[in-house]
Structure 1
């Protein structure tokens, strides 16, 4: 895995290969299938909850008025859907312990 910084798809596939013994190709395919399934669920408006890890939640934000910080001019911001992640309590506890 990467020493510090970003965990990548390749890192996840390598972990599967090392820990479970799947071939590198199967490990990579497995990671891609899981991520694709999560993306499809989110695209269909479903939230994704991974117990012990956290939840990916879709929220609809209404139209609002924003302000251009440079000019101060008020500008309407269109309604949109945003994706948020909320870590589980177990994950937050692990992060605090590691830090």
Structure 2
């Protein structure tokens, strides 16, 4: 399912216009992104949890030259499925 299909499903399920459903989806996604950027966790009961974690710096291997390279530390978003979603 892509974003436009999700907008159509929201519009049909909530009896909204597609424009209103798209606005609602965009606001929801922006709110989740803003919370994660500020370091907060996002918990959607029954669906799952989003959290930002830090990946440490590590040594990798360039697949072309087979030489070791240093991979920098970075922050990544992790998702853990809730019980209802895991039961599918």
Q: Secondary structure of 2:76's partner?
A: strand
| Equivalenced residues, count | 88
* Structure 1 ranges of 4+ moved more than 3 A: none
TM-score, with length taken from structure 2: 0.85
Q: Which runs of 5+ in 2 are unaligned?
A: none
Q: Which runs of 5 or more residues in structure 1 are unaligned?
A: 1-6, 95-99
Cα displacement (A) at 1:70:
3.1
The CA RMSD measured in Å over matched residues stands at: 1.5
Q: Tell me, in whole angstroms, the C-alpha distance in 2 between the residues paired with 1:19 and 1:41.
A: 26
Output one character per residue of 1:39-67: Cα deviation in whole Å (capped at 9) or x when no partner: 11112122222111111221111111112
Question: Alpha-carbon deviation of 1:23?
Answer: 1.8
The answer to whether residue 87 in structure 2 is matched with residue 93 in structure 1 is yes
TM-score scaled by structure 1? Answer: 0.77
Per chain length, whose mean CA-contact separation is higher, i.e. which structure has more relative contact order (CA < 8 Å, sep 6+)?
Answer: 2
Pair 1:27-2:5 in alignment:
no
